[in-house]
Amino acid sequence: MTKRVSVLFVCLGNICRSPTAEGVFRKLVEQARLQDQIHIDSCGTSNWHIGKGPDSRSQQAAQKRGVDISSLQARQFSEKDLDTFDYVIVMDRQNLADVKDIWHQNGGTEPTLFLEYGRSDVAEVPDPYFGGEGGFEQVLDLIEEAGEGLLRKIQERLA
């Protein structure tokens, strides 16, 4: 069966926030038994970590919440993604600016900030790469909450 909706999560490196979002959202989608209908992927605006797995701190933090992201491999965002994905969801305003630059030239799906789907007052998923352990937990909290909102939105669309 062809999937009906596709979702792409985008951050800078594709080794911390967007693979975490991919794993957490995949789990939410499986719990809702919608895995045959929703395609999920992630990528980074930079080419810094292409082919690498998620940061070990992200893997560990996700594992503690029952989410296994160990098999993911970083790839770089491409303008083609704006033509193929229904949702292009970025983590922070810098990601938004970078993807919007390409969107203005290419057209296609307009990128949106992930936390617009959540209820928190926080607007961006902060980059945890140079910070301490707590940053990875905060990333997961924000992603879980916004992921539930995003799933509700897609469920309305599929209904």
* Residues carrying an active site annotation: 11, 17, 127
Number of residues that bind ligand 4NP (CB under 6 A): 11
Measured CA to CA, the distance from residue 20 to residue 143 in angstroms comes to 8
The minimum distance between CB 98 and ligand 4NP, in angstroms, equals 11
Name which position in 7, 8, 12, 154 contacts ligand 4NP (CB under 6 A): 12
Kindly state whether residue 129 participates in binding ligand 4NP, applying the rule CB under 6 A. Answer: yes
C-beta closer to ligand 4NP: residue 17 or 27: 17
The answer to whether 58 touches 15, Cβ cutoff 8 Å, is yes
Kindly state whether residue 152 participates in binding ligand 4NP, applying the rule CB under 6 A. Answer: no
Backbone angles phi and psi of 6, in degrees to 5: -125, 140
Q: Where does 32-87 have alpha helices with state H? A: 56-64, 81-84
Name which position in 8, 9, 13, 59 contacts ligand 4NP (CB under 6 A): 13
The answer to whether 45 touches 78, Cβ cutoff 8 Å, is no
C-beta closer to ligand 4NP: residue 124 or 145: 124
Q: Which residues pair with 6 in a beta bridge?
A: 39
| 66-125: contacts with ligand 4NP (CB under 6 A) | none
Q: Give the 3-state secondary structure percentages of the chain, helix then strand then coil, rounded to 5.
A: 45, 15, 40
Interface ranges with ligand 4NP (CB under 6 A) = 11-17, 44, 48, 127, 129
